[in-house]
Amino acid sequence: MNTAIVAEYNPFHKGHKYHIDETRKITGCDNIIAVMSGNFVQRGEPAFADKLTRTKCALLNGVDMVVELPVEYATSSADIFAKGAVGIIKAMGIADSISFGSEAGNTDVFARLMDILHDEPKGYKNELRHYLDEGLSYPLARQHALAAFLAIPFENLNYLSLSNNILALEYMLALKGSDIVPYTVERKTSQYNSTILTGEISSSAAIRKAAERKQIETALDSVPDNCKDIIRGIKKPPSIDDYSSILHYILRTRSCEELSEIADITEGIENRITSEAEGERISRLVNKIKTKRYTHTKIQRGLLHILLGITKEQQKKAPSYIRVLGIRKDSTHLLSELTQKASLPVITNVKENEDLLSQEIRATDIYNIPLGIGKGAEYREGILVV
């Protein structure tokens, strides 16, 4: 029996280890397969460490195989992120269940909303449109629309505003009609976006913030012992601002019509971007452009998608391959099983699959620019075996 986990591990910490261990307990699975984001992550940023470094940490701490979540899904809003990840899990043909973290700690609260969100009855759609027209972000508009449609207090659905619960709801929606069984593990101690170190279990955001402040040794209390030297070795994690000059070059050489095809560039926001861009850092540009409806994260995703050339059409497409990043020596049978049962091509060799991996090759080359790593890193790195 195999269970899938969708993760970023950005970076890997004891909370992730707890989730892996609890997943084994509640599912009784023999193997855990992580579908993990590559070199760029959902907040529209470069990952703290490259994907093979994070793969190694996962394999050292209970994951049996790591599969890559393609960058067009990994850098997207919760619904596209979840659809891409679940699409890969379904296509693998070897996962019996999926386990995800949530603040709710059970799947029942999400199951009660599935029919409404899947079928979108007219009354609900009208309420949703009303709140979107008021300028609310999609998650907040959805929460208001559900409360109005169900005739319950808005506060009763406050759990839908929490980061992991939002993703949990999208996983459940993407799984609807599937035989894959969902499980959830309650998030412990630290909220997803908390930047405060809380001892044994701190969020990835808190660890990244500590690294920015040159306080990584303090943050290492929250990291498994077998990953501490790995995290110490990351001397200068890339930041989104490291790519500012590249973005401004693109903004000056692309028309608004071309930019409007890019993912997360909607409703004329490309005009605002080009008019406000004055060569400043990306973080400053995001703060200039964001509005009540278009949050910091949505704008940053849009700018990252311009940087990487990810279009709306790419995000609409279902996954077209399954790429294995790493595997444990004692779990190589999983690769044989995956190859036999997968409904999509299983990729273990970049050179032989350049067309399918073209977006990933380009993303890695861009990721590596501020790190001083030359072009073509994807070709030099095979499957990691631990």
Q: pLDDT tens digits, residue range 304-340?
A: 999 999 999 999 999 999 999 999 999 999 999 999 9
Count of CB atoms situated within 10 Å of the CB of 374: 10
Cβ pair 13, 202 in contact under 8 A? yes
Query: Higher confidence at residue 201 or residue 365?
Result: 365
Q: Report pLDDT digits (tens) over 15-71.
A: 999 999 999 999 999 999 999 999 999 999 999 999 999 999 999 999 999 999 999
Q: What is the predicted pLDDT for the residue at 14?
A: 94
Query: Higher confidence at residue 236 or residue 314?
Result: 314
Q: For the CA atoms of 329, 19, 204, 282, what is the dihedral angle to 10 degrees?
A: 80
Alpha-carbon gap, residue 352 to 358, rounded angstroms: 11
Q: What is the predicted pLDDT for the residue at 199?
A: 65
Mean local confidence (pLDDT), 150-174: 93
Q: What is the predicted pLDDT for the residue at 214?
A: 83
Chain centroid to Cα 119, Å, comes to 25
User: Which residues neighbour 104 within 8 Å (Cβ) at sequence distance 6 or greater?
Assistant: 110, 159, 162, 165, 168, 184, 186
Determine the angle formed by the axes of helices 78-92 and 163-175, rounding to 10 degrees.
50
Q: What is the predicted pLDDT for the residue at 202?
A: 82
- Beta strand 40-41 pairing with 45-46: antiparallel
One-letter amino acid for residue 384 of the chain: L
Residue 361: name the closest of 352, 346, 374, 350 by CA: 350
Q: What is the predicted pLDDT for the residue at 268?
A: 87
- Beta strand 322-327 pairing with 65-69: antiparallel
Q: What is the predicted pLDDT for the residue at 267?
A: 83
Q: What is the predicted pLDDT for the residue at 189?
A: 58
pTM of the predicted structure, to 2 decimals: 0.94
pLDDT at 346 over 90: yes
Q: What is the predicted pLDDT for the residue at 194?
A: 59
Chain centroid to Cα 205, Å, comes to 14
Residue 20: name the closest of 53, 65, 52 by CA: 65
Terminal Cα distance for the chain, rounded: 21
pLDDT at 10 over 90: yes
| Range of weakest confidence among 83-97, 136-150, 192-206, 283-297 | 192-206
One-letter amino acid for residue 301 of the chain: R
Q: What percent of the chain has pLDDT over 90?
A: 82
Q: What is the predicted pLDDT for the residue at 258?
A: 97
pLDDT at 254 over 90: yes
User: Which residues neighbour 300 within 8 Å (Cβ) at sequence distance 6 or greater?
Assistant: 43, 44, 45, 240, 282, 286
Q: Give 348: exposed, middle or buried? Use CB within 10 Å, 0-12, 13-18, 19+.
A: middle
- The string of DSSP letters for 31-54 reads EEEEEEE-SEETTTEE-SS-HHHH
Give the chain's domains with CATH numbers.
2-104+176-193+318-385 (3.40.50.620), 115-157 (no CATH), 240-314 (no CATH)
Residue 66: name the closest of 380, 357, 327 by CA: 327
Residue 323: name the closest of 348, 351, 344 by CA: 348
Alpha-carbon gap, residue 171 to 102, rounded angstroms: 11
Q: What is the predicted pLDDT for the residue at 139?
A: 86
